[in-house]
Chain A
Amino acid sequence: DTGVSQDPRHKITKRGQNVTFRCDPISEHNRLYWYRQTLGQGPEFLTYFQNEAQLEKSRLLSDRFSAERPKGSFSTLEIQRTEQGDSAMYLCASSVRRDAPLEAFFGQGTRLTVV
Chain B
Amino acid sequence: QQPVQSPQAVILREGEDAVINCSSSKALYSVHWYRQKHGEAPVFLMILLKGGEQKGHDKISASFNEKKQQSSLYLTASQLSYSGTYFCGTSSNQAGTALIFGKGTTLSVSS
Nearest Cβ on chain A to B60's Cβ, whole angstroms = 15
Partner of B103, one of A42, A45, A55, A100: A42
User: How far, in angstroms, from A35 to B87 measured CA to CA in the complex?
Assistant: 14
Helix, strand, loop or mixed for chain A's interface? loop
User: How far, in angstroms, from A96 to B103 measured CA to CA in the complex?
Assistant: 25
Partner of A106, one of B42, B49, B96: B42
> Within 8 Å of chain B (Cβ to Cβ): is A75?
no
List B15-61 residues whose CB lies under 8 Å from chain A: 29-30, 32, 34, 40-44, 47, 49
Nearest Cβ on chain A to B97's Cβ, whole angstroms = 6
Beyond A40-B103, A91-B41, A108-B41, whether A103 also contacts B32 by CB under 8 A is yes
Residues of A within 8 A of B (CB): 4, 31, 33, 35, 40-45, 48, 55-56, 91, 95, 97-109
Residues of B within 8 A of A (CB): 2, 29-30, 32, 34, 40-44, 47, 49, 87, 89, 91, 94, 96-104
